[in-house]
A = this chain, B = another copy of it.
Amino acid sequence: MFTVDPTSSVPIYQQLVEQVKEGVLKGTLTPGDRLPSVRELATMITINPNTIQKAYQELERQNVIETIRGRGTYVARNYKAKPDEERLALVAEMFRRSVVEARYAGLSSEEIITLVKSILVSYGGRESVKDVKD
């Protein structure tokens, strides 16, 4: 958990954001869990504390985690998806791009569907983020 590739073109703080969100979906992180403190994680993965901070702030802004003053940061207990029209468009856009690339990599429609289904399964088959709370 919490490994990072500094050579990647995707920013380190982003990688962290994604890992936390993915962890929650996978179940490795459960609502209420405490995340390592900024400084702890910084030394754990030898990344500058400011970078960790940026990741945590972004996660908090997205209501994925919440910080309790003086005590630390925790996986949010009651994440509520607010499916903006805008947000749905953004998700659709991500899939659209993925499909284009998949096609150019030679995947058939069937293979693409299979791939997506396998990803869904790897995230535990929960039917929405809400279900994570149960």
Contacts and interface: CB of A to CB of B under 8 A. Distances in A.
B120 A112 contact: yes
Given A6-B68, A69-B6, A108 B92 contact: no
Given A6-B69, A69-B6, A91-B98, A104 B117 contact: no
Majority-rule SS of A interface residues: helix
User: Chain copies in the assembly?
Assistant: 4
A67 interface: yes
Chain A interface: which size bin? 35 or more
A112 B116 contact: yes
Q: Which residue of A66, A105, A107 has the most chain B CB atoms within 10 A of its CB atom?
A: A105
A128 B107 contact: yes
Given A6-B68, A81-B105, A82-B106, 6 more contacts: A22-B96, A94-B102, A95-B102, A95-B115, A99-B120, A108-B127
A62 B92 CA distance: 22
